[in-house]
Amino acid sequence: MSARVQAEPFDLAAELTGFGAGAGAVVTFTGLVRDDTGLMAALQIEHYPGMTERALNEYGAEAARRFQLSDWRIIHRHGRIEVGAPIMMVATAARHRRAAFDGADYLMDWLKSRAPFWKQEIARDGSATWVEAKNSDEDALSRW
């Protein structure tokens, strides 16, 4: 059970080797940098080292308690990440599939709404715009 924040890409297959041993279900989610406008080159992600990892570990521990997860992993990247590249992953393991799915969904909603990351969309022309919080993300979080 762990959370990591790193600049370098991660290898999903390697991350899942041995993950959730003995569980009845493993659920994974990998988020990719997407370009909704057709003008974006990359996403620049900033965070406060130490504080961010602590928050992610707290979310993971809460998910484990709440959904009886036997294992969980969060990886979130920082720095410049090109469109189409993996930005984060969540993996959960539990005795039953519903707990694994709910645990992953819970973690993704918390990461999207509360994780201490700051994001800038970098356009192809080099200009940058800060990404603002979305009401839809807050609505998703409110169900928990």
Instruction: Name the pairing type of β-strands 69-77 and 2-6.
Output: parallel
**Residue ranges of the chain with pLDDT lower than 70?**
none
Q: What's the pLDDT at 142?
A: 82
Give every CB contact of residue 98 below 8 A, 6+ residues apart in sequence: none
Q: What pLDDT does 134 receive? A: 82
Residue 43 has a pLDDT of 97
Residue 140, pLDDT score: 80
Specify the pTM.
Answer: 0.93
Q: What is the arrangement of strands in the sheet containing 117-123, beginning at the earlier edge strand?
A: 79-82, 40-47, 117-123, 128-130
Do 32 and 89 form a contact (C-beta atoms < 8 A)?
no
Distance, in Å, from the CA atom of 98 to the CA atom of 67, rounded to the nearest integer, reads 9
Helices (H), the chain: 12-16, 51-67, 97-114, 135-142
* pLDDT at position 144: 85
